[in-house]
Structure 1
Amino acid sequence: MKVKAIADILDGEVDGDPEREIKDIAPVDEVDENTIAVLRGEEDWRKIKKKAGAVVIPHNVVPDRRSSYSFIRVKNAEVAFVRLVELFYPREVPQPSISPMAYLGDVKLGKDVYIGAYTWIGDAVEIGDRTVVYPFVYIAGGAKIGANTVIYPGVVIYPRVTIGSNVVIHSGTIIGSPGFGYVRCEDGWLHIPQVGGVVIEDDVHIGANVTIDSGTLRPTRIGKGVKIDNLVQIAHNVKIGENTVIAAQTGIAGSSELGNWVVLGGQVGITDHVKLGDGVMVAAQSGVTKSAPPHTKLFGYPAREYNKARRTYAILFELPQIARKVKELEKRLKE
């Protein structure tokens, strides 16, 4: 593909030879005369070891005029990188078909749907146009799935689950399993029925081995545009706002609510009934036990405002030295 054609796709401007042929995208330190790389900043120039076919740069980066590269100037280098990967490595989509080895109950299918072998779909399920359901998926009766959604092998979808359009669900994920709710009684623990189901809105991406529990009477809700990494647990009655990002091994306890554009680092724990406002950011391995207003940054266990927590930890690491000084002072006073 020629540099000019790539620039048109990226909404970029060419500086150099627009007719140069590009065959692939490469990391900055592996780019050669047949490939294209994306530079995030001026420091990336040092990483280029060979003559590059083309280099994508942000508008604010000054090109290295000593080189003979073709440049493509773009507004957002990160977005350009995504588009380039999609351009050279388009996602393989199976041809619309229904495997004769799949079981389908009384279902309503849209146009151009793919259903893989050994998938089981119960009665009254609705699946939208161009949705892909790979082999070995279980979809309980009554589930509703929108258009252009992709469900990878090994996903389990319980009853009373609604999934929007343009959703991606990776292998091993379980949606709608009964929430962890029990009442103590004389004979032990009585499970509270969880019949609220789950609602997953449009444009949500869910990683592998994620569990999203059914709500008790109202649905557990995952808002539009949410991105969930692998190995995340979302308990019953949780509400997650739009465009929130959740990194791996995070656990969110029951009835907690996250606003829009919240960011949770890896291995974050959130206790039940916590409310985090829009734009809250929680650092990795933090334990959130209290609600936080919008745009707060949290860190540590128990999680506190980021700058306060850093100062606390800085003092904490000095405690052994402080303890020695206190003992020396006590010894002097006794003398």
Structure 2
Amino acid sequence: MRRGRNCSLSDLLAGKESGKMETTLQELATLVDGQLHGDGSLQISGAATLANARSAEISLMDGEKFLQACNESAAAAIIVSANLRPDDKPCIQVDDVQAAFAKVVSHFRKPRTLDPVGISPSAHVSPTAQIGPEVDIHPGVTVGADVEIGRGSRIYPGVHIMAGSKLAENVTLFPNVVLYENTVVGPRVVIHAGAVIGAYGFGYEMVEGCHQLSPQLGFVEIEADVDIGACTTIDRGTYDATIIGAGTKIDNQVMIAHNCRIGRHNILCSQVGIAGTVTTGDYSVFAGQVGVKDHVNIGHQCMLGAKAGVMADIPDQGVYVGIPATPIRKQTGMMAALMRLPEMRKALRRLEKTVASMKAQESTAPRQDAA
């Protein structure tokens, strides 16, 4: 067996295992449309964060608070905002540091492209399925009866697409995604590994002393440009559709129950749990571990802080935190009062002692009879 040379993770990410790639600082400044300060002929071989950058790599300083870390970094050059300059390093000033650095990183870390595979012989595709042009179906995929897959879609190993599901063009399903029957997926949707779309909703009725599953006859509809994270689950509607609005981005390990209607361009962070028949407006943000009670309506442009417990409707542009979820200004006041409770308790005890002492003195004092 051939033994290769030792290679660090950063080397692998930068593609250095296949040869050193160098670009001048001037070329990078042109790439990001930035203002160069320093030696434009400086050779740059990669990009990394301040703590991990090597002596021939470029990094970023996104704010004055990182100035010390910048000065201590081994990076050869820095990408900074237009109002900042590092003390002793060449730099490229840009309007948007994060966007510019992402472009530089992409320059050094070329995406690995896969050769088209067409329909793998080891995939099981129903003869009644309709497969569009330029579709890749990898080994181990199962495509059920009457499934439709649009042009340019990529279906990775282990995916199971059940009967009647419809995928628009340029859909990407990463390994081991499961689409239950009749799932509808819009164009350019990306669903990451292990997600389950369209499972039966958690709806049971008590019948003769036993929990009996209520009808789960609906489906899931995912509109255009939605991203769904790994191991996320979205249940089908009871009779109609559970809907995920266009442009919504869903993190890993999110649970969306049956009959929900999630609006357009929402952000749902990891471990959000939304109970059944919840509706949301557009452009709302759910921070990590937010929990939402069933049959609740959340308005447009709302922000829910981490671990908020939503028990009632929230109006448009509401900013809510805590359990139960409360308007942030009210919650801040409540927390401030809570933090003062120990001192308030001590003060109350002092007052109680003072009152008790005054009562004792009053009871022992001689009474003067009225004349």
TM-score by length of 1: 0.90
What's the offset of the Cα at 1:233?
A: 0.5
Q: Is residue 57 from structure 1 mapped to residue 70 from structure 2 by the alignment?
A: no
Give distance in 1, aligned partners of 2:291 and 2:274.
6
Greater Cα radius of gyration, structure 1 or 2? 2
- Residues 50 and 73, structure 2, Cα contact 8 Å, conserved in 1: no
Which stretch has the larger CA shift, 160-169 or 1-10? Answer: 1-10
Correspondence for 2:218:
196
Give the match for residue 99 of structure 1.
Answer: 120
> CA RMSD for the aligned pairs?
2.2
Runs of at least 5 residues in structure 2 that lack an aligned partner in the other structure:
1-22, 361-371
Return closer, same or farther for 1:229/1:303 CA change in 2, 3 Å cut-off. Answer: same
- Aligned mates of 1:264, 1:33 — CA distance in 2: 40
**8 Å contact from structure 1 (residues 95, 114) kept in 2:** no
Q: Which residue does 2:37 correspond to in 1?
A: 15
CA distance in 1, matches of 2:50, 2:216: 51
In structure 2, what is the equivalent of residue 81 of structure 1?
101
Task: Work out whether 1:278 is the aligned partner of 2:300.
Answer: yes
SS for the counterpart of 1:221 is strand
Selected match of 1:35 from 39, 54, 57: 57
Partner of 2:251: 229
State the shift of 1:75 in Å. Answer: 2.1
How many pairs align?
Answer: 332
Distance 1:237 1:94, change over 3 A: same
Which digits, 9 at most, give the CA deviation of each residue in 1:13-44, with x for residues without a partner?
Answer: 43334443322111123334421112211222
Cα distance in 1, alignment partners of residues 77 and 276 from structure 2: 50
Once the two structures are superposed, the pairs formed by residues 170-189 of structure 1 within 5 Å of their partners are 170-189=192-211
Deviation, 1:249, is: 1.2
Identity score, percent: 35
Cα distance between partner residues in 2 of 1:265 and 1:192: 31
Residue type matched to 1:322 in 2?
Answer: M
Shift of 1:212: 0.4
**Residue 93 to residue 255, structure 1, CA distance change in 2 (3 Å):** farther
- Cα deviation, residue 176, structure 1: 0.6
In structure 1, what residue type is equivalent to 2:189? V
| Worse overlay, 72-81 or 313-322 | 313-322
Q: Structure 2 vs 1, CA of residues 321 and 53 (structure 1 numbering), >3 Å: closer, same or farther?
A: closer
- Which 4+ runs in 1 deviate beyond 4 A? none
What secondary structure, in the 3-state scheme, does the structure 2 residue paired with 1:30 have?
A: coil
2:176 match: secondary structure:
coil
Aligned to 2:324, the other structure's residue is in SS state coil
When residues 72 and 147 of structure 1 are mapped into structure 2, their CA distance, relative to the original with a 3 A threshold, is farther
Where in structure 1 are there 5+ consecutive unaligned residues?
none
User: What code does the residue aligned with 1:84 have?
Assistant: V
Distance 1:24 1:294 in 2: 45
Does the Cα contact within 8 Å between 1:182 and 1:191 map onto a contact in 2? yes
- Is the alpha carbon distance of 1:118 and 1:54 closer, same or farther for their aligned partners in structure 2, counting shifts above 3 Å? same
**CA shift at 1:269, angstroms?**
0.4
Q: Distance in 2 between matches of 1:236 and 1:252?
A: 9
Structure 1 pair 178/85, CA: closer, same or farther in 2 (3 Å)?
Answer: farther
**1:269 lines up with 2:272 in the alignment:** no
Please report how far the alpha carbon of residue 305 of structure 1 lies from its aligned counterpart in structure 2 after TM superposition: 0.5
1:166 shift after superposition: 2.4
1:149 to 1:215, Cα distance in 2 relative to 1, 3 A: same
Corresponding residue of 1:289? 311
CA contact (8 A) 2:228 2:252 kept: yes
**Could you say what secondary structure the match of 2:58 adopts?**
strand
TM-superposed deviation, 1:298: 0.7
- Cα distance in 2 for partners of 1:68, 1:322 equals 54
CA shift in 2, pair 1:46/1:204, >3 Å = same
Query: Matched residue of 2:44: which SS?
Result: coil
State yes or no: 1:24 paired with 2:53: no
